[in-house]
Structure 1
Amino acid sequence: MRFLFSFFLLIGILLFGIQPAVGQQKPSVARPSVARTYCNPMDISYRYNFEQLNEKISYRSGADPVIINHKNEYYLFVTIQGGWWHSKDLVNWRYIVPDKWPMEDMCAPAALSVRDTMYLFQSTFEQRPIFYSTEPEKGKLKFLNRWMPRLPKDIGPWDPALFHDDDTDKWYMYWGSSNVYPLFGAELDKKRNLTYAGNNPAESYKAMLWLDPYKHGWERFGPNHSDPFKPFMEGAWMTKYKGTYYLQYSAPGTEYNVYGNGTYVSKDPLGPFEYAPYNPIAYKPGGFATGCGHGNTFQDNFGNYWNTGTTWIGHNWGMERRIVMNPAGFDKDNQLFVNTRFGDFPHYLATKAGQNSDELFTGWMLLSYRKPAVASSTFKASAVDSLSADKTTDENPRTFWVAAQNKPGETLTLDLGAERDVRAVQVDYIDYRQTIYDSDSTVYTQFKILTSTDNKKWTVVADLTDTAERKEPKRDRACAYMELEKPARARYVRYEHGYVAGSHLAINAFRVFGNGLGKAPATPASLTVKRQKDQRNADLSWSKVPGAVGYNIRWGIAPDKLYQTYQFWNDQPNTFELRALNVGVPYYFAIEAFDENGVSTLSNVIDDGSGLGKK
């Protein structure tokens, strides 16, 4: 999260599975499922918070996530949430309010687990403490120090990251959030309770790296890197792998679809650092949940790597956001990468060490894109507002349906066009003309999901209402994701409203996942790539496949390193200017088509036509 001198831009998958019912009239039982799948954006209880009082805009948001593995359990920290979340399985997350908290809520917090202790520090330009806890599951916090010494004006530490080098038993902090200053780094002194090493704090830190948008196309500002405004760098994180230090950062701005994570590498924790050959490491500019910058990299209990990030909503305010998590890893050349292919479709959680990140994709396709939707009622805001039901299937988080009244029984019904095997549903809410500024016991979510083959006889397949046998407390679910215990053969899928806090029921996405009963689409033909004179850009075109829902353009720095994905819908143009490339680096491209039945085979890999790979 970046700091602007005029104001602070304060303010970041998980599923809670629900078992389906059997039969038509008997309500289903809502209970935690086996930890199998998740879907971005994360299904956590995003909070309303105090910052909105300043703008008089009410919305739930979450950004700048850090997930740490502490004693084989997981803790999630997010900007301005009044606490954190605890999970034993990366699926079911319990919100925790700490017994101590700093002078104000934490923005872009730094969290770290070392042996039996968790450490926590907030973004600040003032003197603030570092906390520690040996019982974070109980919300217990203690002061490690009473404050970090003040640094020179505007230096920070904002967007901090704490790092402990297990091999040397040395401690470090990295930070930065600016389009003026670099990322900084400093060694910390454990004997002084992790204050800056050395006698003069003003001389204890140094620059680690700067943005270079003239060489790194993905660091340019704006949607699809099209704005000449100077970009922002933020979100430091450090990972050590096989003796190499990977200093990660985010750019170019949280309010754009191209918000991503990059990395520099060094053999020393304070540098000098070199730009990694493959960058950005995490990038998701297309689809529903666009952007994945400003997060962290962590390992699960099997040793597999994951990368968290911030995805953009941006309806009520530019800083309205949600949280994502994507599988990550290191390849045979020790290159850090993050897999965002189908990044907002359901994925499996890892069940063993060394799982290939592509294997974690369930293969459950989006069945609801542009499908007809009928609502029981629609709120009439004005002659210019379009709040109709069809907005819930366009995969745009900034368009939405609003019911005439926020009352139980309102429905939203999708016609999938033919019978499909429905495997999961995601209901994404948005705040429309709300006046809620705090998440209390009145803020929770209730609804039912029903399916039908004929639009007459309906079966309840998920139930989050008071009629269900509930074994967990009510909670708010702005991005409610439910995996069904077994496929439900259906043509129609219905949302039946129970309760949301506030004056309006507003849904920006009713997403249905599963599989059609046909064959996967053909492989797209005629992919062409032409690198421009400005090597940061390339012109792409391809031939459309009849019946396809969309395409994934995949690219990378070698034919076997196609780690990047840009998703396009079939009703979008089949030409595109890609502006995310690095100067002097050869690239290789391929394409695949997808529809409701599956994914085509990948096309032949071609180079970018620049000749750089032959020099």
Structure 2
Amino acid sequence: MHPIINKIMLLRAFGIFIGFILVFNAMPATGQSTYCNPMDIDYKYNFEQLNENISYRSGADPVIINHRGEYFLFVTISGGYWHSKDMINWKYLTANRWPFEDMCAPAAVSVRDTLFLFQSTFESRPILYSVAPEKGIWEFYNRWTPRLPKDIGPWDPALFHDPDTDKWYMYWGSSNVYPIFGSELDYSKRLAFKGQYQSMFWLNQYEHGWERFGPNHSDPFKPFTEGAWMTKHKGKYYLQYGAPGTEYNVYANGTYVSDQPLGPFTYAPYNPVSYKPGGFATGAGHGNTFQDNFGNYWNTGTSWIGLNWAMERRIVRYAAGFDNDGQMFANTRFGDFPHKMPTKTWTGKGDELFTGWMLLSYKKPATASSTLDTMAAQKITDENPRTFWAAKQNKPGETLTIDLQTEQEVKAVQVNYTDYKSDIFDNKPEKVYTQFKIWTSKDGKKWNLASDLTKEPKRDRPCAYIELAAPVRARYVRYEHVYVASPILAISEFRIFGNGFGKAPQTPAAFTAVRQKDARNADLKWEKVPGAIGYNVLWGIAPDKLYQTYQFWNDEPNTFELRALNVGVPYYFAIEAFNENGVSVASKVVGVK
């Protein structure tokens, strides 16, 4: 996040969250075994733009910590945090000391029996600790830090404890002027700075195409680096960072690597590590990397909404890891389709977590019980979170119906709400919650109830993901409205997942990749496939390391200028097609120097 903007936001938020008592918004055991990005949590109405009277729910800059086998999620300006035992069901908590002001881009680390927590700041702020974070009990660990020079921070901090040396470090940075910084911390002095902080590395958009600013890296504006995070793997230190800016589809995480915690660091030629510029939930930058209880790695990030304000966002997470050569990766292929929650250590790059449930609703006909102005029902199937349908009135019984055009097997739905002209500036659970019903039909006349949120305890679900108890054969799927707190009922996307009964598409033919004179760019081209809904361009630095994915829809052009490459690095590309029925075999890999 940009430091000057964040400082203003922090001042506005100061004192709003004083005096919280512990509150649980209980979530029932859903029985779900799958998840879908954006994460289905009760995003909070955000006070960033309170003075401008803009009301919207948002979540950004996530940190998920595995603490004693349970998971804790910290998010920018949320008035609290989330706790989960399975990474599917999350409970929101506020704390006895949710401190003095709310937190931007917080840092957290679990060391032995203690969870430590620290906020972004340009002032002097304390580190908190808890031995019972699931109960919302926090105490002051120190009264920390002398103030650093103006604009240095530590903003967007990361706390790191090296288990092999028992030494502590902090990394931080959020700027298009300054680098990522790092410093050792003195445990004997309650984690005060130990010596002088140091510059770790700077952005270099002249050699790293993905670090260029703007949509698809097309803006000459100087990019931002932010969101530091450190992971140690097999003796190597992976210092991660977000770039080039949170308000674009290309927001991503990269890494530098070193044999020492404070460097010198070497740029990873395979960057970016986590990158999702296409599809519904675009953007994957500024998050963290953690391991689950099976030892699997995950990478979290920030996905862009940008409707009410440029920094309106959601939270995503992707299977991640390190290959046998030590290359770090995050798997964003079909990253906003349903995935299985692992019950064991996965293999390879985690493709086995993809359920194979395809998107059934893209550009399918949609009708509504009523429509406000020009915000028509057809916008709920365009896979764009910045377009939306709105009802004439926010009242129970309003409906949205999607015609899948043929009978298909429906397995899950996701309802993404839009805060259009919202007037909500608090998060009182008795007022702010979401309820609806999902119906299915084979003929559009006889309807069967597939899911009913009125049967569960009230909670807010701006990105509600519902895995049906059993697959349902249906042609029509209907959303029936019950309640949202906003004055206007608005939905950006009603996404339906499952499988058709036809054939997967053929492999796209004549796929080519040509490097431009500016080696940061490559021109891609392919032949469209009859019956395809979309395509995944897969690429990487070796034929067996196609870890990157850029998703396209079939109604988009079949040519694209990819502007995310690193100078001096050879690349390899392939493409696959997909539709409601499945995914084609990937094309032959082509290489460019």
TM-score class normalised by the smaller sequence? over 0.9
| Matching residue within 89, 93, 96 for 1:92 | 89
**Amino acid aligned to 2:172:** W
Aligned to 1:417: 405
| Matching residue within 315, 319, 337 for 2:311 | 319
Aligned to 1:388: 376
**CA apart distance, 1:3:** 1.1
Contact persistence 2:438–2:449 (CA under 8 A)? yes
| Matching residue within 541, 546, 549 for 1:557 | 541
Equivalenced residue count is 576
**Amino acid aligned to 2:451:** A
**CA apart distance, 1:93:** 0.3
Whether 1:135 and 2:123 are equivalent positions in the alignment is no
| Matching residue within 98, 105, 109 for 2:102 | 105
**Amino acid aligned to 1:296:** N
Aligned to 2:439: 450
- In the aligned structure 2, how far is the partner of 1:439 from the partner of 1:425? 25
| Matching residue within 426, 432, 435 for 2:420 | 432
Q: Indicate how the Cα distance of structure 1 residues 297 and 451 shifts in structure 2: closer, same or farther if over 3 A, else same.
A: same
- In the aligned structure 1, how far is the partner of 2:177 from the partner of 2:300? 25
- In the aligned structure 2, how far is the partner of 1:287 from the partner of 1:35? 24
Aligned to 2:21: none
Aligned to 1:568: 552
Deviations 1:532-574 (A, max 9, x none): 0000000010000001000000000000000000000000000
Contact persistence 1:413–1:494 (CA under 8 A)? yes
Whether 1:352 and 2:340 are equivalent positions in the alignment is no
**Amino acid aligned to 2:438:** I
Q: Indicate how the Cα distance of structure 1 residues 188 and 93 shifts in structure 2: closer, same or farther if over 3 A, else same.
A: same
Structure with a larger share of its residues in strand: 2
- In the aligned structure 2, how far is the partner of 1:447 from the partner of 1:287? 25
Query: How high is the TM-score relative to the length of structure 2?
Result: 0.96
- In the aligned structure 1, how far is the partner of 2:65 from the partner of 2:91? 15
Structure 2: gaps spanning 5 or more residues: 13-26
- In the aligned structure 1, how far is the partner of 2:534 from the partner of 2:381? 14
- In the aligned structure 1, how far is the partner of 2:493 from the partner of 2:571? 35
Aligned to 2:17: none
Whether 1:249 and 2:215 are equivalent positions in the alignment is no
Matches within 5 A, 1:519-558: 519-558=503-542
Percentage of matched positions with identical amino acids: 72
SS of aligned partner of 2:174: coil
Whether 1:273 and 2:265 are equivalent positions in the alignment is yes
**CA apart distance, 1:277:** 2.2
Deviations 1:390-413 (A, max 9, x none): 000000000000000000000000
| Matching residue within 278, 299, 322 for 2:291 | 299
Whether 1:59 and 2:56 are equivalent positions in the alignment is yes
Deviations 1:185-216 (A, max 9, x none): 00001111111114xxxxx2000010000000
Contact persistence 1:58–1:436 (CA under 8 A)? yes
Between 1 and 2, higher relative CO (CA 8 Å, sep ≥ 6) is seen in 1
- In the aligned structure 2, how far is the partner of 1:369 from the partner of 1:9? 37
Contact persistence 1:304–1:355 (CA under 8 A)? no
Matches within 5 A, 1:586-601: 586-601=570-585
Aligned to 2:387: 399
SS of aligned partner of 2:137: coil
- In the aligned structure 2, how far is the partner of 1:403 from the partner of 1:259? 32
Contact persistence 2:32–2:467 (CA under 8 A)? no
**CA apart distance, 1:6:** 9.4
| Matching residue within 179, 188, 198 for 2:176 | 179
| Matching residue within 486, 489, 493 for 1:502 | 486
**CA apart distance, 1:354:** 3.5
Deviations 1:408-447 (A, max 9, x none): 0000000001000001000000100011111112000000
SS of aligned partner of 1:45: coil
- In the aligned structure 1, how far is the partner of 2:357 from the partner of 2:580? 8
Whether 1:364 and 2:357 are equivalent positions in the alignment is yes
| Superposed CA RMSD | 1.2
**Amino acid aligned to 1:124:** T
Contact persistence 2:44–2:58 (CA under 8 A)? yes
SS of aligned partner of 1:51: coil
**Amino acid aligned to 2:448:** T
**CA apart distance, 1:54:** 1.9
Whether 1:584 and 2:562 are equivalent positions in the alignment is no
**CA apart distance, 1:317:** 0.3
Aligned to 2:152: 155
- In the aligned structure 1, how far is the partner of 2:304 from the partner of 2:178? 24
Contact persistence 1:2–1:9 (CA under 8 A)? no
| Matching residue within 443, 452, 457 for 1:463 | 452
Q: Indicate how the Cα distance of structure 1 residues 5 and 407 shifts in structure 2: closer, same or farther if over 3 A, else same.
A: closer
**Amino acid aligned to 2:450:** V
**CA apart distance, 1:512:** 0.0
SS of aligned partner of 2:314: strand
- In the aligned structure 2, how far is the partner of 1:600 from the partner of 1:539? 22
- In the aligned structure 2, how far is the partner of 1:418 from the partner of 1:148? 63
Matches within 5 A, 1:161-200: 161-198=158-195
**CA apart distance, 1:33:** 3.0
Q: Indicate how the Cα distance of structure 1 residues 157 and 393 shifts in structure 2: closer, same or farther if over 3 A, else same.
A: same
**CA apart distance, 1:50:** 2.5
Contact persistence 1:212–1:219 (CA under 8 A)? yes
- In the aligned structure 2, how far is the partner of 1:5 from the partner of 1:396? 26
Q: Indicate how the Cα distance of structure 1 residues 98 and 31 shifts in structure 2: closer, same or farther if over 3 A, else same.
A: closer
Contact persistence 1:49–1:439 (CA under 8 A)? no
Deviations 1:363-391 (A, max 9, x none): 000000000000000112xxxxx300000
SS of aligned partner of 2:432: coil
- In the aligned structure 1, how far is the partner of 2:48 from the partner of 2:548? 35
Contact persistence 2:170–2:182 (CA under 8 A)? yes
- In the aligned structure 2, how far is the partner of 1:113 from the partner of 1:6? 26
Deviations 1:80-133 (A, max 9, x none): 000000000000000000100233100000011011000000000001000000
Whether 1:2 and 2:2 are equivalent positions in the alignment is yes
Q: Indicate how the Cα distance of structure 1 residues 576 and 280 shifts in structure 2: closer, same or farther if over 3 A, else same.
A: same
- In the aligned structure 2, how far is the partner of 1:330 from the partner of 1:451? 42
- In the aligned structure 2, how far is the partner of 1:137 from the partner of 1:217? 42
Structure 1: gaps spanning 5 or more residues: 12-29, 199-203, 381-385, 611-615
SS of aligned partner of 1:197: strand
Contact persistence 2:6–2:104 (CA under 8 A)? no
Aligned to 1:21: none
- In the aligned structure 2, how far is the partner of 1:434 from the partner of 1:34? 32
